[in-house]
Structure 1
Amino acid sequence: MSNSFDRSLKIAPSILAADFANFGAECEAVEAQGADWVHVDVMDGHFVPNISFGPATCAAIRPHIKGVMDVHLMIAPVDPFIDAFAHAGADVITAHVEAGPHIHRTLQAIRGAGAKAGLALNPGTPVEAAIPLLDDVDLVCVMTVNPGFGGQKFIHGQIAKIEALRAAIGDRPVHIEVDGGVDPVTAPHVVAAGADVLVAGSAVFKGGSVSDPDPYGINIAAIRKAAGDGSIRA
């Protein structure tokens, strides 16, 4: 991941919505169709009510990803696994505020392992939890659904959190990522509020496959066009 900061809009498809039997080819296909980052949702069945995959899967798909591998750890405890995900090739590692007793130390450990440090805020987590940590993160992920599984309905009440976060960040080189229910309808709202990285799962992968990847590109383009410059469309 480049050290130069770029706040331009980025679409980060979540492979949680991809074909689990064909992850490598899916990563290649979605990047070829216009994805900026590839988002990897790691779930443990404890911190969230589902189980997905771990460092071995990340290491296996890393050679198939040319750009940024954005790893979202929905696990607790998180600290014992940071090095494994960094060694697996994660460019960004995001941990939740509630995933351990000392989130500041967790963020330090992520940077110490050579990755960019992300902080995730659940819908019930106030924006104030992130404010003291803004000098210690490279990304804040605002969850616009409750974490744990895909296809949930976007929680519109989180838009105010994005706005407050954007104001607090100021000119710091910190991305605002939005994860959950992002599609062409919700994308313009979150971008207008200040988000610059949009995670989308089913909204990107619907209708396509490795053998027919064109729908991925159409879906990504639709989200990007809808988001535009952040202006809200009727």
Structure 2
Amino acid sequence: MREPLIAPSVLSADFADIDSALRLIEQSGADWIHLDVMDGHFVPPITFGAKMVQDIRKRTRLPLDAHLMVEAPERQVEDFAEAGADFITFHPEACVHAHRCIQMIRNRGCKPGISIVPSTPVSVIEELLPFVELILVMTVNPGYGGQDLLPFCLEKVKKLRRIRSELKADFLISVDGGIGPSTASQAAQARPDVLVMGSAFFSSPDPATLVEQMRAPYATTGLIC
């Protein structure tokens, strides 16, 4: 049985002490690092750009998923690819030519991902699914950490798993928002492949134990095969 990949989001870390945050992630046994890039337009806050990703890349060998919550993401693909992102995930809601953006990401040697906000149905991205390697289902409205999970979003995960099986595809399904110990079992019932954690991870007194707690429901229920 396959355990979920754990992807802490540095959105909830102390940007002034990013070295400590990266050490904490690596020592916890987490699998990759989630990077929330916000431009102040697609979502209200502004976080960081490609330079931050480049600096993080120098400090860790863990895979990096740059989640571009930005308008016109195609304009920034090259910068984040050069910065060292492994996955570049963008929102079709913010991109007119989503398939072209996917091609741009792949042509620059990165793995393309797409993300949808809670109000976007799976049907909007269904034709893009054969071309991507990651689907990020937002389980909160994007922009701020520490929000409560929206349970109806987990139904999208189940639908995506059915479509993946029908297509015989192998894209990963990730969830982001309100993921932590109190929602671990609930999330596991939907069977996502990747769990993004922000505030729950960085506020934990023992992140390594937390990582194991998040994996435990998959092992005990036998949900992933």
TM-score (norm 2): 0.93
Gaps of 5+ in 1: 1-5, 209-214
**Higher relative contact order structure (alpha carbons within 8 Å, sequence separation ≥ 6):** 2
TM-score (norm 1): 0.89
1:73 is the counterpart of 2:59: no
- Aligned-pair distance for 1:219? 1.9
Question: 1:97·1:119 contact (CA, 8 Å) conserved in 2?
Answer: yes
1:132 is the counterpart of 2:108: no
1:197 is the counterpart of 2:194: yes
Map 1:45-64; keep pairs closer than 5 Å. Answer: 45-64=40-59
Match of 1:156 among 151, 156, 163: 151
- Give, in whole Å, the separation in 2 of the partners of 1:49 and 1:93: 20
Gaps of 5+ in 2: none
Aligned to 1:175: 172
- Give, in whole Å, the separation in 1 of the partners of 2:99 and 2:2: 24
Aligned to 2:216: 225
SS in structure 1 of the partner of residue 182 of structure 2: coil
- Aligned-pair distance for 1:8? 4.2
- Give, in whole Å, the separation in 1 of the partners of 2:43 and 2:83: 22
- Give, in whole Å, the separation in 1 of the partners of 2:221 and 2:14: 31
- Give, in whole Å, the separation in 1 of the partners of 2:215 and 2:60: 21
- Give, in whole Å, the separation in 2 of the partners of 1:177 and 1:219: 18
- Give, in whole Å, the separation in 1 of the partners of 2:48 and 2:15: 10
- Aligned-pair distance for 1:194? 2.7
- Give, in whole Å, the separation in 1 of the partners of 2:130 and 2:162: 14
What is the alpha-carbon root mean square deviation over aligned residues? 1.7
Q: What amino acid is aligned across from residue 216 of structure 1 in structure 2?
A: P
Structure 1 or 2: more helix by fraction? 2
Match of 2:88 among 79, 93, 97: 93
Q: Give per-residue Cα distances to partners, 1:135-160, cap 9 Å, x unaligned.
A: 11000000000010100110001111
With 122-131 and 199-208 compared, the bigger mean Cα shift is at 199-208
Aligned to 1:187: 184
Question: 1:154·1:180 contact (CA, 8 Å) conserved in 2?
Answer: yes
Task: Report the number of matched residues.
Answer: 221
With 15-24 and 181-190 compared, the bigger mean Cα shift is at 181-190
- Aligned-pair distance for 1:230? 5.2
Map 1:104-123; keep pairs closer than 5 Å. Answer: 104-123=99-118
- Aligned-pair distance for 1:224? 1.8
Q: Give per-residue Cα distances to partners, 1:179-208, cap 9 Å, x unaligned.
A: 000012322323322301000001111145
SS in structure 2 of the partner of residue 228 of structure 1: helix
Question: 2:188·2:217 contact (CA, 8 Å) conserved in 1?
Answer: no
Percent identical = 42
SS in structure 1 of the partner of residue 37 of structure 2: strand
SS in structure 2 of the partner of residue 188 of structure 1: helix
